[in-house]
Amino acid sequence: MDQCQVESFVESLPNVQSSEVYGYRFYFYVEDHRMPLLTTANSGSDYDNRSDRNREGVLRVNLGVRAETFRELFPGGDVNVDGLDYTRLNKFLPHPDYWRQNFLCILNPAGPQAVCLQQLIRKAHGPSLTWYARRGASDAEFRHAQ
């Protein structure tokens, strides 16, 4: 999946908003912009250069998932991000900085990994309405989000 395909897929989900900051496109559930559902980045920055995204055509997708999903993808307890090759294409990895918050990443998802990414995005998006309601959204915000 290229950047347009990933972004079109995410934007097709209900109640998703986006903004762009520091070369990243952030996708949030409704108006709550505290924790993104997903981010995309297609160039490197001083803040994050592990993936060598300055290579032409390299896109990194970062996705926040539930803790159970993260453990299913990366079993074995403690994650050692220091020994991982973050330049590798089409491989799910724990996010180099936000793995503790159950974020994963993948460069240039393709084939079965792209299908899996879409499933993971849907799975991460699904509980958003429940979370949004639990955090105390007003009745008007809640009705608008449905």
What is the chain's mean pLDDT, rounded? 82
CB-neighbour burial class of residue 145 (10 A; exposed 0-12, middle 13-18, buried 19+): middle
Which residue, among 98, 97, 99, has the nearest Cα to 79 in the 3D structure?
99
Asked if pLDDT for residue 142 goes beyond 50, the answer is no
Residue 96 near residue 55, CB atoms below 8 Å: no
Q: Where are the domains of the chain?
A: 3-145
pTM for this entry:
0.82
Which residue, among 40, 41, 59, 63, has the nearest Cα to 120 in the 3D structure?
63
CATH class assigned to 3-145: alpha beta
In the chain, alpha helices (H): 3-11, 67-73, 111-125, 128-134, 139-145
The pLDDT tens digits for 58-93 are 899 999 999 999 999 998 767 888 889 999 999 999
